[in-house]
Every structure is written in structure tokens, then in C-alpha cells.
Structure 1
Amino acid sequence: MILFQNHLVVLDYDPKTDILFVEWPSLNAYDLLEIERTVNLLVDYIRNYDVKNLLIDSSHSQMHPDMDMEAYMRIVTDFALNLQKTRLERSASVVHVDKVRQEQSEKISEQVTQKVHLTIESRNFTTREEGFRWLRGEEV
């Protein structure tokens, strides 16, 4: 069921499996304010629907070279801090198809995880189906 949709994301929730799916948007410097609002909204939906499992597909997300990385890091750090205040238990990520972009994403993730002491169990996968299977408790 679609909980929310804008030009950046679609939040698709399956209450039977308690999995919220979101395809991570491409990041442009001019979208920073909207990105911040959208990730805050994502946290609100996780809290309001008491979501335990999140699947983020960032496999095709692009980051514009002019991105203000300091501002983006602040947004991602706040996102992680706010997730800690929910009952989210597990987060699966579909890795980026571009290895350079994936390395950049992993560095950001490591920095944020260390900074906020993120306790949500997280794993990376190469396909959505692998992520869905792990979140459903199936063999991967």
C-alpha cells in the first residue's frame, strides 16, 4: 500500500510482512530542503505505522557533483538519530550498481553509524529480493 508519494520517493508498505520499501532518490543540491523534509516524513511513517523492517533501494541513486556534502551529512545523521527513536529493528539496503558511488555511500554510512551509535541491524544486498527475503526471515 502506498503511504506517501512525491517527486523524490514512494513509500510502499506491506503490513503483512511489516516491510516499508523506499527507492532512495537521486540527490541534487537544489533538492536538499525537499530531501530533508522527505526523510523526516519517512521517519514519521515508520513511527506512526510502527514499522520494524525497512528496505532502501539506492542501486540507481545518483549524487550531483555540486552536492553540499556537509549539509547532506547533517541530513543523513539526523535521519539516523531519528530512526533510533523509532521501533525499527532491521534495515536492508540494495547497494549501488556503480562501485565508486557505492564506496562513497559506504563511507557516509560508516561515519554516520559511528557518530550516532546506530543499533538498528543493517545489511547490504545486491538485489531487492535478497533484501526482502532477509527482512522476512528467510535464508539469503
Structure 2
Amino acid sequence: MLLHKDGLIELNYDVVQDILSFRWPDLSGMTMPEIDFSLKKLIDTLRHYDIKNLLVDSRQSKTDLSKDEHLALLLRFSEYLMSTRLQKMARLATSDLSRENVVDFAVEEAVNRIGITFVFRNFTDEASALKWLGES
């Protein structure tokens, strides 16, 4: 079920599995207020529908953010997620090793500094991610 669509993001909800699917937007040329607005829309949707599982598809996303800006964005996103009742987050990884290193570091920082309470895993294929999210 399509819950939201605009120029940046599309949020699809599988009611039966309680999984919100979100394609990480192309951040090239985006301003931080635009990015924050989209992430807050995602967070509002997670809260409103009390969604427990999130699938983030990063495979096609691009960014022109520096590593420090990207890290700060990911940590802020983790903080936003902490204000929801999210239990599991699956992420479909990019093929960009440099970006994946930033994500890995951000996850480590989110666990150590923020104390995220949801379980996070990276995947290379959607079927495995959905299967994992669907498990109790």
C-alpha cells in the first residue's frame, strides 16, 4: 500500500508483514533541509502506523555529501528512528565500498553513542532482507 510519494521519497507499507519499504533518495544536489524534511516524513509515518520493520533500499542511491556530512546524516537518522517503535531495519547495500564503510562506521557509532534499540542488518538482495524482517 502506497502511504506517501513525493519528489524525493516513496513509502510503501506491507500491512500483513508490518514492513515499510523506503528507497533511500538520490542526495546529489539536495540541501540538508530537503533531506531532513524527507527523513522526518518517514519517521512520522513509522510513528503514525506504529510500524516495527523497515526496509531501506540504498542500491541505487547516490550522494555528493562528504564522508563527514554523510556520517552526520546517518547518525541523525538513527536518532530520529529512536523516537519510533522500530524493532528491525534491513538495508539493501550499495556496491560503493567507500559509502558502505561510512555506513558501517555510522552503525557502530549509533550503537555506541546513541544506543539504538532496533536490530540492523545489511543485505545484498531484497528477498533475504524481507525474509529476515518477516521472522519474529
User: TM-score over 0.5 for the alignment?
Assistant: yes
SS in 1 for 2:31: helix
How many residue pairs match? The answer is 136
- Whole-angstrom distance in 1 between the partners of 2:125 and 2:30: 29
Higher mean C-alpha displacement, 42-51 vs 55-64: 55-64
Q: How does 1:47-126 map to 2 (within 5 A)?
A: 47-64=47-64, 67=65, 70-126=68-124
Identical residues among aligned pairs (%): 31
Gaps of 5+ in 2: none
- Whole-angstrom distance in 1 between the partners of 2:72 and 2:101: 19
Aligned partner letter, 2:132 = W
Aligned CA distance change for structure 1 residues 59 and 82 (closer, same or farther; 3 Å): same
- Whole-angstrom distance in 2 between the partners of 1:50 and 1:129: 23
1:29 touches 1:68 (CA, 8 Å); kept in 2?
no
Q: TM-score if structure 2 supplies the norm length?
A: 0.88
Aligned partner letter, 1:61 = S
- Whole-angstrom distance in 1 between the partners of 2:52 and 2:7: 25
Aligned CA distance change for structure 1 residues 98 and 68 (closer, same or farther; 3 Å): closer
For residues 18-76 of structure 1, what are the alpha-carbon distances to aligned partners after superposition, in whole Å with 9 as ceiling and x for unaligned? 00000111223533211101101101100000001000011121121xx2555544443
Aligned CA distance change for structure 1 residues 51 and 19 (closer, same or farther; 3 Å): same
